[in-house]
Amino acid sequence: DAEITQSPRHKITETGRQVTLACHQTWNHNNMFWYRQDLGHGLRLIHYSYGVQDTNKGEVSDGYSVSRSNTEDLPLTLESAASSQTSVYFCASSESIIGGRQYFGPGTRLTVL
């Protein structure tokens, strides 16, 4: 069955370190998204991609970057982790044609000490 996976599921890192969170989908979807979820804020969009070599900034993109070298993967990089980036991160994907339907991965809980 097609799915979307994230790794690691949990990570603890230190302030200033570079961190990369992986997202892999086997739906063959063109569109992929990264969100963060925080108490009191719900889910907020970080970056998204419409296809290979395409990336776009979302609502809360500062301090994050993404790259899309193939259809299946959209890794999220925190260049220099900050305590404010402690959160749960979700990756999602969607088809181009069916409006709005996004399918989410299980999430990565990141703690920055």
Partner 1 sequence: GQQLNQSPQSMFIQEGEDVSMNCTSSSIFNTWLWYKQEPGEGPVLLIALYKAGELTSNGRLTAQFGITRKDSFLNISASIPSDVGIYFCAGPDSGGGADGLTFGKGTHLIIQP
CA-CA-CA-CA torsion sign (74, 17, 39, 46) = negative
**23/78 with CB nearer partner 1:** 23
**40/62 with CB nearer partner 1:** 40
Structure tokens at 81: 């982790």
Q: Which residues bind partner 1 (CB under 8 A)?
A: 31, 33, 35, 40-45, 48, 50, 58-59, 90, 92, 94, 96, 98-107
Q: Are 3 and 26 in contact (CB under 8 A)?
A: yes
CB of 104 to partner 1, least distance (A): 3
CB of 33 to partner 1, least distance (A): 5
78: number of Cβ within 10 Å:
19
CB of 15 to partner 1, least distance (A): 26
> Where do the DSSP E strands lie in 26-102?
31-38, 42-49, 56-57, 64-66, 76-78, 87-94
CB of 95 to partner 1, least distance (A): 9
